[in-house]
Chains A and B, each alone.
Chain A
Amino acid sequence: MSQEEPLLPDDVEDKRLMLLVAGGDDDALRLLVHRHHPRLVGYLRGEVGSQATAEELAMEVFIRLHRAANRWRPEAKLSTYLIHIARNLVLNEWRRRGRKPTTALDSTPEPGDHSQTSARRLNELDEAFQRAIAQLPPEQRTAILLVVQQELAYEDIAEIMDAPVSSVKTWIHRARGRLRELLKDFYGPA
C-alpha cells in the first residue's frame, strides 16, 4: 500500500491487533484469526482442493504470522500478506507432494439451496469449475482465484505472486481461455 493511500478502518483494526499480537496477546490473535480465516481457507481450498489440507495450511499461515508479528510492518494490507504466506506454503506443499493438487475435490452441498434440482445443478457446476481450475497451471490457477474469488487488484496479485502486473494479466487471460476449453460441454467452444 502506498503511503498516500489512507488506511481503511479494517486495516487500522488489523494494525492495532497485530501490535497486540506482537506483545503476546492471545485474545488479539484469536480476533485476528476470526476476522481473516474464512477468506484464507476459501482461497487455500481453491488452491489445494481439500478442506482438511486448506485448514492445515491456514493454521500454519497464522502460526507463521504470529512468529513474524514483531517484524511485521503495515506497508501492505494484512489480508494480502496472509495470502502471500499462504501461496508460499501451497508451493511448498506441491513440491513436497511432487505433484499438483488433487482433482478429486471435496464436495460440500450448500445449505441454503431450496430446490433439490437446482441444488444438484449448482453443485454439478461448482464441481465442474473446481475440477477445471485444479487442472490449470499453478500460476494461472492462483491468478484466477485471486482476481475472481478474492477480488484482489492486479497490483496486489502481482505483489503476492512476486511477478509483474503484465504477467498476472496474461495468466488470467490464459486461465479464462483454458477454463472455457475445459468446460465446453457446459458453454460450448470458446
Chain B
Amino acid sequence: MDNTNPSTFERDLSAALSRKAAVVVPGFADRVVEGVQVKRRRANVIRWSSWITTAAAACFFTVFLTKEPSEESLIKQTHALLASDESAQFNEILGLANDLSVLAPVIEKSTLVDVLTSPGS
C-alpha cells in the first residue's frame, strides 16, 4: 500500500472503507447451502428427465420404426388372410357344386335327350 504517511484524508478513507470491509450476514451460510442443494436437486431432475426422454425415444424408435416383420410371418399372414377370405367363396362354390352333384342323378342326360328327341315333342 502506498499510504505510508497517512493524511487525515487517507485515515478517514481507510476508516470509512474498513468499517464496511466485513459484513456478517446471519444465516448466510445456511442460505448458500440451501441454494446449492436446490440447484443440485434441479440438476438431478433435469438429468433424469433427459435420461427418461432419451430412453423412451429409443424404445419408440425400436418398436415402431426399426422393427420389420420377417418374411415368414408375412407369408403366414397372407395365407391366413387368403384362407379366411377364400374359404367362404370356396364353400359357396363347393356348396353349389354339391347341389348340382346331388341333382345330377335325378336329371339324367340320356332321359332328357330322349324326351327332346322323341317324335311327339
Q: Does B30 contact A (CB under 8 A)?
A: yes
Pair B9/A180 contact, Cβ less than 8 Å = yes
Pair B28/A58 contact, Cβ less than 8 Å = yes
CB-CB under 8 A from B21, the residues of chain A are 39, 42-43, 149-151
Pair A38/B24 contact, Cβ less than 8 Å = yes
CB-CB under 8 A from B36, the residues of chain A are 26, 29, 62-63, 66
| Binding-face segment, B12-20, B51-59, B91-99 | B12-20
Task: State the Cβ distance, A10 to closest chain B Cβ, in Å.
Answer: 14
CB-CB under 8 A from B25, the residues of chain A are 37-38, 41, 55, 58
CB-CB under 8 A from A150, the residues of chain B are 21
Q: Does A85 contact B (CB under 8 A)?
A: no
Q: Does B103 contact A (CB under 8 A)?
A: no
What separation, in Å, do the CA atoms of A26 and B29 have in the docked complex? 10
CB-CB under 8 A from A148, the residues of chain B are 1, 3, 13-14, 17-18
Interface size class of A (residues with CB under 8 A): 35 or more
8 A Cβ contacts from B48-95 to A: none
- CB < 8 Å A-B pair total: 102
Task: State the Cβ distance, A185 to closest chain B Cβ, in Å.
Answer: 12
Pair B12/A172 contact, Cβ less than 8 Å = no
| Binding-face segment, A12-20, A94-102, A125-133, A158-166 | A125-133
Given A30-B29, A129-B13, the answer on whether A41 and B3 have CB atoms closer than 8 Å is no
8 A Cβ contacts from B3-50 to A: 3, 8-10, 12-14, 16-25, 28-33, 35-37, 39
Count of residues in B whose CB is under 8 Å from the partner chain? 29
Q: Does A78 contact B (CB under 8 A)?
A: no
What separation, in Å, do the CA atoms of A144 and B35 have in the docked complex? 31
Q: Does B2 contact A (CB under 8 A)?
A: yes
Q: Does A45 contact B (CB under 8 A)?
A: yes
Pair B16/A26 contact, Cβ less than 8 Å = no
Given A63-B32, A187-B9, the answer on whether A39 and B17 have CB atoms closer than 8 Å is no
Chain A residues packing against B (C-beta within 8 Å)? 26, 29-31, 33-34, 37-39, 41-43, 45-46, 51, 54-55, 58-59, 62-63, 66, 110, 125-126, 129-130, 133, 144-145, 147-151, 169, 172-173, 176, 179-180, 183, 186-187
